[in-house]
Amino acid sequence: MTTLSGRFEILKESGSYRNGRFLGERHSFLTPVFMPVGTRGSVRLFPHDLLDQIGFEVVLANTYHMMLRPGADVVAKLGGLHRFSGWPNAILTDSGGFQVMSLDANFDLDGVSFRSVYDGAKAYLTPENAVRMQELLGSDIAMVLDVCTMLPASTDQLKEALYLTISWAKRSKAAHNRSDQSLFGIVQGGTDATLRKISIEATCEIGFDGYAIGGLAVGEERSLTLETVQLCCDSLPQDAPRYLMGVGDPYSIVHAVELGVDMFDCVAPSRVARHGVGWTSNGKVSVKQARYVASEEPLDPNCECDTCVRYPMALLNHLFKVDPVTLGVLLTRHNLTFMKTLISWCRKAVEEGNFNDPKRFVETYYS
């Protein structure tokens, strides 16, 4: 096995949950961590300097979109994603496997063919060129190319995706040459416990810097999601970070941290913001409701973000009608601040060895 380029340090452990630090060659970050999603190199309606001000240490970008526009070679010539996007901290790039799942894509043993969402041009993604693209992009953490299956799915469909993902993981690792970039494997298998165990054993045998739990929050009940997360956390290596892909609602994050997950990403905080919804210490708030037309109250009296400190609900209600772009910026700032605060609360709960308070909060307001 080649030497791992990233090192994971457990700072505090209490039962199954833990606080840690991922030490990459160029950037490090504390865990548990929530990663805002900048699919095309930036979080929609929210520049990276504002993310930095909130205190985020990692963002996610997507290889599928960046390879199509502006192109991985263009980004490389400009100094890589950090320079291109103006982001000074760690970057994780997804391989694009999840994105092509939603397209009219054709999978075979070698890779996946699809048409660009931008101009309809034919494109082909293989384990090797997915890794090569991420090396050109220069992210701190790259992901192997995997096959993600929407649920519900038949056992045969899950098996096919599972064994193709294992084969591609081997090829991805063999193709990976950038020593200052960590490479994570991805375990699949849907909510089938037997298939998950097969995937975990095979992926760990290959050996990666970290392990992602993929193929969840794609149509199954949340209880099944968390059952599968627990199975994976119980079986994955203790000395490597565990990354739950695409899951980012407050309820799932708190419960998954308690189960032993270290890393999360999700578009939900910014997506619901663009629809006029704020995540607050009193639950979800829709700013378009008529009762806020003349309200002097802040969105969340317990939040210290600029949106809550500066602006009354009356303005947010007004912006929903006349300037949704500005509203999206203001609510994205609040929702991402909320997520950062929630993760900090989880770290504190680990330190104290007691998850009762954050669990009670999400079960009251976000269940």
In the chain, what is the greatest distance between 2 CA atoms, to the nearest angstrom? 64
Please give the Cα distance from 226 to 157 (Å, whole number): 22
**φ, ψ for residue 25 (rounded to 5)?**
-70, -30
Q: How does 191-227 read in b/e, with b if 16+ C-beta sit within 10 Å?
A: bbeebbbbbbebbbeeebbbbbbbbbbbebeeeebbe
94, 140, 262, 300: the active-site residue? 94
Please give the Cα distance from 112 to 350 (Å, whole number): 41
Please give the Cα distance from 334 to 47 (Å, whole number): 14
With residue 360 as reference, give the H or E element that holds it: helix 356-365
CA-based nearest residue to 88, from 130, 39, 43, 55 = 55
338 is in an annotated binding site: no
192, 209, 262, 265: the active-site residue? 265
Angle at 353 between CA 347 and CA 356, to 5 degrees: 85
Q: Are 17 and 259 in contact (CB under 8 A)?
A: yes
146 is in an annotated binding site: yes
- Is 94 one of the annotated active-site residues of the chain? yes
98 is in an annotated binding site: yes
Please give the Cα distance from 185 to 117 (Å, whole number): 26
**CA 76 from centre of chain:** 23
In sequence order, which residues have a C-beta less than 8 Å from that of residue 3 and are 6 or more positions away? Answer: none
305 is in an annotated binding site: yes
353 is in an annotated binding site: no
334 is in an annotated binding site: yes
Give the Cβ contact number of residue 293 at 10 Å: 12
At what angle are helices 324-352 and 356-365 packed, to 10 degrees? 150
With residue 279 as reference, give the H or E element that holds it: strand 277-280
361 is in an annotated binding site: no
Residues marked as catalytic:
94, 265
Known binding positions for substrate: 94-98, 146, 188, 215
Q: Which residues are annotated as a binding site for Zn(2+)?
A: 303, 305, 308, 334
Binding-site positions read: 94-98, 146, 188, 215, 303, 305, 308, 334
